[in-house]
Every structure is written in structure tokens, then in C-alpha cells.
Amino acid sequence: MQYVFPKDFIWGAATAAYQIEGAYREDGKGENIWDRYSHIPGRTFEGHTGDVACDHYHRYEEDIRIMKEIGLKSYRFSISWARIFHDGKGTPNQKGLDFYRRLTEKLNESGIKPAATLYHWDLPQKLQDLGGWANRDTAGWFADYAAYMFEKLGDQVPIWITHNEPWVAAFVGHWIGRHAPGITDFRTALQAAHHLLLSHGQAVRAYRDMGCSGEIGITLNMNPVYPASEKEDDKAAAGMYDEYLNRWFADPVLKGSYPAGLMAYFQEMGLLPEMDDGDMELIHQPVDFLGVNNYYSSFIKYEGSLWPIPAAETMTGRDRTQMGWEIYPEGIHDLLMRLHRDYEGVKILITENGAAFNDIVNREGNVEDDNRLDYLYRYLGQVHRAISSGADVRGYYAWSLLDNFEWGHGYSKRFGLVYVDFRTQQRIMKKSAHWYRDVIRNNGF
Ligand code: JJW
């Protein structure tokens, strides 16, 4: 074996509630912003929605059997807030909670550590009607929901993640407008970003105050950022883009401040969000780990006209996945080393990495996804290289366990280790899943 991983390395796979569960109005679940958004004509690929998705709500036992077959040590999933609180707050819904009790008890019986994400983009619609993440009160409602989950599920869940990719929730949801709630206002996005961070801090504080014994962190989408050329303009644009994409969330959580360059720039443009004294202190609580989602790298060129960030991603001619994301395995190594250096030995869980490809079921009923296997092989090789150089990486979750609802792309992008036939709900372990099983068994490859 070329790559042997540390003892007790956490081998996992990840999913999210809206992307797999279906059962969108069963057992007292309330409407959330993705239910609303996906039903608006033109918002998603061919009008796809998460109404049924992988029907995991009803098929979770079969899915856990597949996880056992792969040999997963841990399974990362998310909790649908509107299943627990129909309106986001108020009276809890016992049936919703029961589902996550059944799921996590079964996982533990199967020797699979549950890792629960509290917010994976599916805000209860009733809270959106009150202003959503642009409303400061939403942070408090999130903390109340989080505390309720810690109380009811704390005995089953050893790993908690407050938020998944708040950058995407804030900026793709409120500025680019390609995700729910589909708002296109930069100031709103920056305010939402601040409240997402604040809600993280409040939830972590609740976790500590309740004396919970597990670990808690936050998951950020991060790309290593490189200038597209040696030109000074491109270097400056890359620095700015890095502050925007990576540091806008990582610095407050891990250092207690927004990055200075972009802070000054937003101030000059009159875009700074409203914040209270003490917010930063609350956001800057010790976390037990940083969750990192990485798929690709950003090669940045200066783009004078692109408001408000005059920097744009460019292509470098490398092979791409079906998402159009270039395959650059060295990027994850560079990212991990950078985090290790700039956030002084931070403990990292890679909470997502993976690739979408146009899989087909062959005449023998198999899915021979060599392209995905190759992607995982090369990225994991670079993760190993970073660990060998000192990065404190404790685990790796492949995105995703199952093919699922890829947001605006609907079911047209398959990220799964396991193929899902969305007409019959048949599951087929792809070649990559069989390979991953061997990797887990051997703790390396
Ligand atoms: C959208 C960029 C405009 C998911 C996006 C940027 C602007 C054309 C995969 N991670 O399904 C989406 N994923 O739920 C979480 N990572 O807009 C999990 N990043 O587009 C996976 C990035 C992403 C994105 C999606």
C-alpha cells in the first residue's frame, strides 16, 4: 500500500436532508425554502424538486445496510429543521424527531458514528416569511432549535455541525439568487452571512452551556485560490477573492475578526452589515474541528467591472467533472496546508469531497465509474500527502453516499458512491463504492 492513513481515521460519506429524504409534507413536516423555491417554474433543472428525492425517509434502513456493506465508520446527514419545528419555532413535532431517533439509533447499532448537520440550507418557510437569515432573530431561533436537538439527540450523536457552507447559503441564496430563497441583493447577502455566523456562535455556546460530551464545529466550502497569472492585478484580485470565499467565514470563527482588506472595501462602498458589540466574541468560540468541503480550486483574474468583487474564476484547461469543475488534486493539499498554517494546527474533518459524472448502468447492471474512482484516488492521495506534512486531518466524508437532488441542477448531476434509479428507487453500489470499501478495510490504498 502506498497510502496508509492514521489509526482511527474517520472514513465516512455524507448526504443532506432536502437532497435525499423526500416525504416533503409527511408526519407534520413544515414547508421550507427549498420546497418553495424548487416548485417555482424555471428555478431548477426541468422543474425537479425534492418532493420524493431518494425516498430515504422511508428507505433509511436499506440505506444503512448499504453503509454497513461499504464499511463506513461515520455517516454525515442533516436534520430538516421544519420536520422538528413546523414553523421554525414553537411546538416541536414528535414524529419528526422520531425519524432522527430511529435513524441515529440504527446507525449506532450498526457501528456507524452519526455526524449531524443542523442547517443544510432548508430554512422553514415561516421564518423566511419573517425575513429569513436577513433577520437577526433567526439566529436566536436557530440556537433554540439546536439546543432542542442537543437535548433530544445528544446521546446518539457524537459529532455536530452547525452549518453547511454558509457562504453558499448567504451569497448563492441572497446575491446570485440561484439557490433558495432566490434573492439578488448583495447587502442582504452580507447581512445574512453575519447572522449565519452569529447563529453558529449561539449554537456552540448552547452546546457548551448544556455540558454536552461530543464535538461541535462548522463546515465551510473552501477553495485554494491562485492568481491566474503573475500580473499584480491578478494577485491582488486573488487575495480579495480569498477573503471573500474562504476568510469571510473562517476568520470570524477561528480568529474573531472579518478579514481587514475586504472589510475596508465593503465599508468604503457602504455595504457593511449591521452588527452588535459582542457578536464577534460569540462567533469566535472554540470549536472542536473545522469541517472543510472542497471540490475544486479557484484560479482568479482581475475583472474590473464585476461588482462588488472585481475578481473572476478562470479555467486552466484541465479535465473537468460534470459540474464543470476542474480536477486539480494538488489543490486540496495546498488548502489543507494553508489551513494548518494560518489557523495554527486546526483540527480538520473533510466533510465533503467528490465528483459528479454522467454515470450509466451497463448491460450487466453495474456502474463502472472509473472517472469518479480516479478522482477520489487522486484527491485522497493529496489528503494523505498533507497529513504526512503535518496537517491535522481526522476524517474524510465522500460526497455523496447516494446520487441525489443537486439543488438547481436537480437529479442531472450524480455525485453518489451508490447509483439511484429515480424511477424505481433501486440502489446500485458503483465501482467507486466497492473501491472505497477496500480503502476503509485497509485504512488506505
Ligand atoms: C452553487 C456559484 C452561478 C454541494 C454555486 C457555487 C454561482 C451560475 C455541492 N455542497 O450538494 C453551488 N456544491 O449539498 C453541499 N458545492 O454557485 C452539498 N458547492 O453559480 C452538495 C458552489 C456550489 C456548490 C455545490
Grid coordinates belonging to 5:
492513513
Nearest CA to ligand 1 atom 4: 406
Options 21, 31, 165, 326, the catalytic residue: 165
Whether the CB-CB separation of 80 and 20 falls below 8 Å is answered with no
Grid coordinates belonging to 118:
443542523
Is 243 an annotated catalytic residue? no
Provide residues with CB under 6 Å of ligand 1. Answer: 16, 19, 164-165, 168, 172, 176, 178, 221, 293, 295, 352, 399, 406
Report how far residue 404's alpha carbon sits from residue 5's, in angstroms, rounded to the nearest whole number: 29
Q: Which residue among 18, 168, 223, 294 has the greatest number of ligand 1 atoms within 8 angstroms of its CB, and so is best to mutate?
A: 168
Q: How far is the CA of 409 from the centre of ligand 1 (A)?
A: 10
- Domains in the chain and their CATH numbers? 10-442 (3.20.20.80)
Atom of ligand 1 nearest to the CA of 179: 1
Q: How far is the CA of 210 from the centre of ligand 1 (A)?
A: 34
Nearest CA to ligand 1 atom 21: 406
Q: Which residue among 20, 79, 221, 351 has the greatest number of ligand 1 atoms within 8 angstroms of its CB, and so is best to mutate?
A: 221
- Residue ranges of E strands in 62-107: 74-78
Whether the CB-CB separation of 175 and 192 falls below 8 Å is answered with no
Q: Which residue among 18, 121, 165 has the greatest number of ligand 1 atoms within 8 angstroms of its CB, and so is best to mutate?
A: 165
Q: How far is the CA of 158 from the centre of ligand 1 (A)?
A: 27
Atom of ligand 1 nearest to the CA of 407: 11
Q: Given this model, what pLDDT does residue 233 score?
A: 97
Which residues, in sequence order, are CB contacts of 355 under 8 Å at separation 6+? 295, 321, 322, 323, 325, 327, 371, 372, 375, 376, 415
CA dihedral for 321, 325, 330, 332, sign (positive or negative): negative
Q: How far is the CA of 116 from the centre of ligand 1 (A)?
A: 20
Atom of ligand 1 nearest to the CA of 16: 14
Whole-model pTM: value is: 0.99
pLDDT in tens, the chain (445 residues): 899 999 999 999 999 999 999 999 999 999 999 999 999 999 999 999 999 999 999 999 999 999 999 999 999 999 999 999 999 999 999 999 999 999 999 999 999 999 999 999 999 999 999 999 999 999 999 999 999 999 999 999 999 999 999 999 999 999 999 999 999 999 999 999 999 999 999 999 999 999 999 999 999 999 999 999 999 999 999 999 999 999 999 999 999 999 999 999 999 999 999 999 999 999 999 999 999 999 999 999 999 999 999 999 999 999 999 999 999 999 999 999 999 999 998 999 999 999 999 999 999 999 999 999 999 999 999 999 999 999 999 999 999 999 999 999 999 999 999 999 999 999 999 999 999 999 999 999 9
Atom of ligand 1 nearest to the CA of 172: 17
Nearest CA to ligand 1 atom 11: 406
Cα dihedral 181→83→88→217 (10° resolution):
-80
| Direct distance between the N- and C-terminal alpha carbons of the chain, in angstroms, rounded to an integer | 5
Q: How far is the CA of 105 from the centre of ligand 1 (A)?
A: 31
Options 31, 215, 352, 406, the catalytic residue: 352
Is 165 an annotated catalytic residue? yes
What stretch of H or E contains 55?
none
Q: Given this model, what pLDDT does residue 389 score?
A: 98
